[in-house]
């Protein structure tokens, strides 16, 4: 059946007049980075639209729309779970996958997951489950969420929501080709008359790959309800923090909800120009599609394998558009906006990727070395070396290095060195006499770098030019303490790019710039240990009282433990253990070795299991430890005892019966003999007829009981007549 016209579709819904006053959530900058790399955005719907005229289900899937009513509305009707869609799939069991593929050699720099739906309740669903077809599930918890009104009085409890979580650490270790999401809370769409509904998810990934074009990547998110009916006809945001170079390219990705092919009037603009391409008409840009530069997208590992054309994405849009022609060299900002004259939709976020003209210091390494050698001890001297180069596409100007030292790091006077063209250039700690200085009030080391640098301003580092800074500190931290340290470089672009700061990285495996951390040990050898703990454990680098039993002089603690402490016993010394506690567990004498079928517990009346308690003892975990199903033995309070259970445990011997009919403990007893057959009753006193009615037949006298019954009947008839007469 074709869908009803828009007017008739909305005729049954009553708009809430106060909805327009509900606060909205316009897009705001979430994350921005200059990277040699790009952004990858994937996502999928969790629902399918059964309406006539909509695209057919993808090949290899099984979709059952039979028996589903209200399919002529403009919303999806049933949920997907992998390649199956039907009204038997509950909303939180819906599941879909999208292909996650990054270029060879790429490293994840940032990743964020979004999920959203129409559901009952004003609070967003703040957790979902992600995995791959071959991986184990991981629960992801939101760090931000938005909720907004549904807008129609028939369902005041319904609200739209979007939630999001930083998943950088998770995605940086992802090896599967697919990314799968489930457990998104939503309304039950089957048979619901809901014209504006969705359930979907999006994953945004920024990656870095050295040698790629330098790009400014920016992610904006919010949850903007664009609904002209409620006076909410547009949303806009301004992107800045970049400088477009000659020969640039620019693209923009939008993920939105509630797009469809029926309603029109929804538009996406970049710098005031309406966007359109083969997959997204100018006046119906959000049309339930997934496209990249105008072509529909269907990934190799997508499940279900939706085609990406208009109407295939079940109330969800994920579209990437080429906006190169809408910016120009020298631009430092751009305006993105979405508007609608008729259709309603919810804007989840924007991702922009613009070629950038700027310096870049992506591989900014910091290494710490203990000058004294061996493990790091309190009082040792650590040398820090920071190295990087400008691998951007514009010279850096006003280039300044800084490093703020922790209170537990004491700068060694005269140790500050700048390495320039392979030559060590010592710098003084005083300010004003050269390019380096130590500001003791703020605990900041500062070096002005590059050509033309002096005692007051940084110089120029051309493209490909590098630097190295070295300095030493004495470590004053206590045993076991960890001390982080991180340097920075700040510079602007020669061509006019904005000033930016790059942080050093002490852990290239973990995404993002990580501090370089040193941890203080107690000893490297026994010469560092005091008399009370004279031996250094080579594994833990801690001082311990013993290295063998010979050093354990306390007669109550004669055995040296693996951790270097003295104990009551050990695996090689149980001489102090009595007959009642013959084995050593954790340095103490014990009755048995914890675990099932312990040799010390064989034939023990309490049971064959050594229980892990403060002091291990023999006992039982379940009835099975105490005997067979007809043993008349059960496990109660960790001990085997006489008894039985009516169900869920051991019963009685075959000639006995359990007093319990449940899992509660009972006692076994002799099975009682069967009851005797009932004794024959007295002879019947009614008439001889086979009906036993107690009435007399012709020629016979009525019995007393028959007369009584007849009297009652006559009395009943008389009373009935009196009630009718009254």
User: How much is the pLDDT for 509?
Assistant: 87
- The Cα 527–Cα 536 span in angstroms is 8
Stretch 102-125: mean pLDDT: 96
Quote the domain boundaries for residue 610. 605-670
Structurally, how many domains does the chain consist of?
A: 3
pLDDT digits 0-9 by tens, 277-329: 998 888 889 889 999 999 999 999 999 999 999 999 999 999 999 999 999 99
For residue 683, tell me if it sits in a domain. no
Last residue of a domain, one of 519, 542, 560: 519
Closest CA to 572 of 548, 593, 591: 548
Q: Indicate the burial class of 246 (C-beta count within 10 angstroms; 0-12, 13-18, 19 or more).
A: exposed
Per-residue pLDDT, 522: 92
Q: What is the pLDDT of residue 292?
A: 96
Is the pTM higher than 0.75? The answer reads: no
Give residue 257's pLDDT.
Answer: 94
Same domain membership, residue 397 and residue 290: no
Mean pLDDT of 513-525: 94
CATH of the domain at 500: 2.60.40.740
Residues 150, 218: one domain? yes
- Same domain assignment for residues 349 and 439: no
Query: Which range is least confidently modeled, 64-68, 158-162, 487-491?
Result: 64-68
Same domain assignment for residues 347 and 369: no
Do you know the residue count of the chain?
726
CA–CA distance, 230 with 474 (Å, rounded to integer): 65
H or E, element range at 525:
none
Asked whether residue 531 is assigned to any structural domain, the reply reads no
Can you tell me whether residue 470 is helix, strand or coil? Answer: strand
pLDDT of 351 higher than 70: yes
pLDDT tens profile 10-23: 333 334 333 333 44
Cis peptide before 304 (omega within 30 of 0): yes
Q: Given a cut of 50, is residue 461 above it in pLDDT?
A: yes
C-alpha angle with apex 674: 669 to 680, nearest 5 degrees? 150
Domain end among 519, 545, 580: 519
**Are 330 and 420 contained in the same domain?**
no
Same domain, 428 and 301: no
Please check whether residues 187 and 261 belong to one and the same domain. yes
User: Are 420 and 322 contained in the same domain?
Assistant: no
Residue 555 lies in a domain: no
> Where is mean pLDDT largest: 257-271, 338-352, 353-367?
353-367
Q: Please state, rounded to an integer, the average pLDDT across all residues of the chain.
A: 87
Do residues 53 and 196 share a domain? Answer: yes
User: Locate tokens 């064959």: which residue?
Assistant: 608
For 597-628, b/e burial (b = at least 16 CB within 10 A) is: ebebbeebebbbbbbeeeebbbbbeebebbbe
pLDDT tens for each residue of 414-458 = 999 999 878 899 999 999 999 999 999 999 999 999 999 999 999
């Amino acid at each position: 059946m074709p869908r009803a016209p828009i007017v008739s579709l909305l005729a049954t819904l009553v708009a809430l007049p106060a909805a327009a006053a509900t606060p909205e959530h316009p897009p705001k900058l979430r994350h921005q980075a200059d990277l040699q790399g790009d952004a990858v955005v994937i996502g999928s719907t969790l629902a399918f639209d059964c309406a006539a005229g909509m695209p057919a289900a993808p090949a290899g899937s099984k979709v059952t729309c039979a028996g589903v009513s209200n399919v002529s509305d403009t919303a999806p009707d049933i949920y997907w779970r992998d390649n199956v869609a039907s009204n038997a799939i509950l909303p939180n069991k819906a599941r879909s996958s999208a292909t996650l593929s990054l270029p060879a050699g790429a490293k994840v720099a940032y990743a964020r997951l979004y999920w959203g739906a129409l559901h009952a309740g004003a609070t967003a669903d703040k957790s979902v489950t992600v995995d791959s077809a071959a991986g184990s599930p991981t629960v992801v918890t939101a760090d931000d969420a938005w909720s907004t009104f549904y807008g129609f009085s028939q369902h005041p409890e319904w609200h739209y929501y979007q939630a999001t979580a930083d998943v950088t650490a998770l995605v940086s270790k992802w090896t599967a080709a697919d990314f799968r999401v489930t457990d998104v809370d939503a309304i039950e769409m089957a048979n619901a008359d809901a014209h504006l509904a969705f359930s979907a998810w999006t994953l945004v990934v920024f990656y870095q790959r050295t040698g790629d074009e330098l790009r400014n990547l920016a992610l904006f998110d919010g949850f903007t309800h664009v609904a002209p009916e409620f006076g909410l006809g547009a949303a806009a945001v301004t992107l800045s923090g970049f400088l477009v170079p000659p020969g640039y390219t620019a693209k923009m990705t939008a993920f939105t909800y509630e797009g469809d092919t029926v309603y029109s009037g929804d538009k996406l603009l970049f710098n005031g120009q309406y966007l359109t391409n083969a997959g997204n008409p100018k006046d119906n840009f959000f049309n339930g599609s997934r496209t990249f530069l105008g072509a529909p997208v269907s990934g190799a590992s997508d499940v279900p394998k939706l085609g990406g054309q208009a109407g295939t994405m079940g109330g969800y849009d994920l579209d990437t558009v080429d906006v190169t022609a809408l910016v120009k060299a020298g631009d430092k900002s751009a305006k993105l906006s979405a508007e609608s004259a008729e259709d309603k939709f919810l804007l989840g976020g924007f991702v922009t990727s613009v070629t950038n003209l700027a310096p870049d210091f992506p591989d900014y390494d910091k290494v710490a070395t203990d000058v004294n050698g061996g493990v790091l001890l309190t009082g040792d001297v650590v040398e820090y070396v920071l190295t990087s180069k400008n691998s951007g596409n514009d010279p850096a100007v006003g280039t300044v290095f800084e490093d703020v030292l922790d209170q537990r790091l004491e700068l060694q006077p005269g140790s500050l060195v700048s390495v320039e063209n392979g030559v060590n250039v010592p710098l003084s700690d005083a300010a004003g006499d050269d390019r380096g200085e130590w500001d003791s009030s703020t605990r900041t080391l500062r070096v002005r770098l590059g050509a033309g640098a002096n005692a007051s301003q940084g110089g120029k580092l051309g493209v490909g030019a590098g630097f190295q800074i070295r300095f030493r500190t004495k470590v004053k931290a206590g045993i076991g303490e960890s001390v982080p340290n991180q340097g920075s470089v700040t510079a602007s672009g020669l061509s006019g790019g904005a000033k930016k700061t790059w942080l050093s990285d002490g852990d290239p495996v973990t995404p993002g710039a990580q501090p370089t951390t040193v941890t203080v040990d107690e000893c490297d050898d026994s010469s560092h240990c005091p008399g009370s703990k004279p031996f250094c454990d080579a594994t833990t680098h801690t001082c311990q009282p013993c290295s063998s039993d010979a050093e354990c002089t306390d007669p109550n603690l004669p055995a040296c433990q693996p951790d270097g402490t003295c104990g009551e016993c050990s695996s090689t010394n149980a001489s102090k253990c009595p007959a009642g506690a013959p084995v050593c567990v954790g340095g103490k004498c014990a009755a048995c070795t914890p675990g099932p079928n312990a040799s010390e517990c064989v034939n023990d009346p309490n049971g064959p299991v050594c229980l892990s308690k403060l002091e291990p003892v023999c006992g039982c975990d379940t009835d099975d430890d105490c005997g067979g199903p007809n043993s008349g033995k059960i496990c109660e309070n960790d001990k085997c005892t006489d008894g039985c259970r009516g169900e869920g445990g051991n019963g009685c011997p075959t000639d006995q019966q359990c007093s319990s009919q449940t899992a509660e403990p009972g006692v076994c007893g002799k099975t009682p003999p069967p009851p005797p057959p009932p004794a024959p009753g007295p002879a019947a006193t009614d008439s001889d007829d086979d009906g036993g009615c107690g009435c007399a037949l012709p020629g016979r006298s009525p019995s007393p009981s028959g007369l009584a019954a007849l009297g009652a009947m006559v009395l009943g008839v008389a009373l009935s007549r009196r009630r009718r007469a009254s």
